[in-house]
Amino acid sequence: MESTAPARGSYRTGRERVERILDAAHGAFISGGYRASSLRDIARAAGISHPGLLRYFSSKAEILTALIERLDAESAARWDLFASEGSGEITPSMIAKGGQEVPGWVELFTALLGEATSPSHPGHPLMLARRQEGAALGIAGLARRGVPSADAERALRLVVAGWEGLQILALYFPAEIDIVAHLERREDHLNEGAPVPEPDAVAPPDPHPAGDPPSASTAAAARLYAQHGYYETSMQAVADEAGITRAALIHIAPTKEALLHAVLLELFGASTDGDEILGLVHRPRWVTAAEVVLLCEATVPSHPAHPFFRARLAAARSSVAEILVGEGAEAPHDDADWIVASCLGILIAWLYEPERVDPAEMLAGALAWTRPAADAAHDRRDKPGGR
């Protein structure tokens, strides 16, 4: 068995071992899923001991973060080469297509996207930085094409929100969501010189209707899910957070899965329409964070929350499509998927940059972008005080 003494040897040896661990983790996460793979599984696949792995990574979250960082670096190198060859502009749809060619990329990215919304997560700085750097590059690219800076920032944020939401939808509804085609439609809109939708002034959504507050146990569980996810949250941790004994918690929810379902029903199961079904309401950050973390980790069909979120998203897609059909939209189902995806992406954007994101305004922009400018102008004229 490998020694657990302090790491020695050359930098090259250590670097090679890290790469072996990341290679093994990539394979394990693809075959068994991120949540289902243990550190011991990864160590075994890498041909080292569990203590040996812990000399380089203390948690799966650190491994996933390093893996995404490596995949990002590989992707950046390919696109740098593409740019140096003068092969044309690099677009979001091209990047999305390239990502889909990397086994497990969408699944791994989505897992970290949700988990790292917590500022305490080791991947939070990476995910926040890549969002900000990507936005700066995208805005600069649009500016070079003559798009005013305010319009460029608004367009870029809408594209990123839709893109991230589409990746989530694609994992819940395989073969139904064409991410690249959706992004190409938005790019065509900009390439044709069409204006970036400027939403009408919108009022913030109404606060969540008054009702019974969540129980102490479900609130405690949700706060911990927001930080660590479902699988990493123990019943004992929830009991400690709620200020009760584990025996008392088991009396309320006899199993870990029963507690999860109580959280889903109490916090996310009451809303059935409009903005609230997607969480665009006034509520504590930890509630939205818990929803996003669970939504992203439950993309795996074996997750106990998968049927709940899949049914909820299916209802949202259907409901929005019906509204768009009534409005005479040319592509109601595609537009509905873009709107639902945008709602998901808006929640994520708000969790990462709450001081820069206005969810209501972004939602209005996403809605405006699915309709021709003439229709949007007609709607504004029909509103009281519209011009």
pLDDT digits (tens, 9 = 90+) for 319-345: 999 998 988 888 899 999 999 999 999
How much is the pLDDT for 6? 39
Give me 361's structure tokens.
């305004």
Four-way CATH pick for 11-150: 3.40.630.30, 1.10.357.10, 3.20.20.140, 1.10.579.10: 1.10.357.10
pLDDT of amino acid 144:
78
> Confidence class of residue 39 from pLDDT cuts 50, 70 and 90?
very high
What tokens were used for 168? 């989530």
Please report the pLDDT score of residue 386 as a whole number: 42
Average pLDDT over residues 47-58: 94
- Asked whether residue 19 carries a pLDDT value surpassing 60, the answer given is yes
CA angle 11, 108, 370 (to 5 degrees): 135
pLDDT, greater one: 383 or 181: 181
For residue 206, what pLDDT is reported?
Answer: 47
pLDDT at 162 over 80: yes
What distances in angstroms separate CA 6 from CA 3, 53, 257, one per listed residue?
9, 12, 40
**Residue of 88 and 196 predicted with greater confidence:** 88
Q: pLDDT by residue (tens digit) across 235-259?
A: 999 999 999 999 999 999 999 999 9
Spatial distance between the Cα atoms of 64 and 126, rounded to a whole number of angstroms: 11
For residue 282, give the 3-state DSSP assignment.
Answer: strand
In 3D space, the residue among 357, 182, 208 whose CA is nearest the CA of residue 282 turns out to be: 208
102 and 71 Cβ atoms separated by less than 8 Å: yes
Q: Which two tokens stand for residue 21?
A: 């661990």
More confident residue, 358 or 25: 25
pLDDT at 90: 83
Kindly tell me if the per-residue pLDDT of 54 is higher than 80. yes
Binning pLDDT at 50, 70 and 90, where does residue 7 land?
very low
Q: Is the pLDDT of residue 384 over 50?
A: no
**Residue 60 tokens, joined:** 């799966």
Q: What is the pLDDT of residue 193?
A: 61
Cα gap 289→351, rounded to integer Å: 7
The answer to which of 147-156, 211-220, 230-239 has the lowest mean pLDDT is 147-156
pLDDT at 27: 92
Helix axes 149-172, 359-369, angle to 10 degrees: 80
- Please say if the pLDDT value at position 360 is more than 70: yes
**Residue of 298 and 87 predicted with greater confidence:** 298
pLDDT at 209: 47
Per-residue pLDDT averaged across 253-276, rounded?
Answer: 80
pLDDT band at residue 87 under the 50/70/90 scheme = low
Q: Look over the chain and give the mean of its residue pLDDT values, rounded to a whole number.
A: 84
Q: Pick from 10-24, 264-278, 362-376 the range whose average pLDDT is largest.
A: 10-24
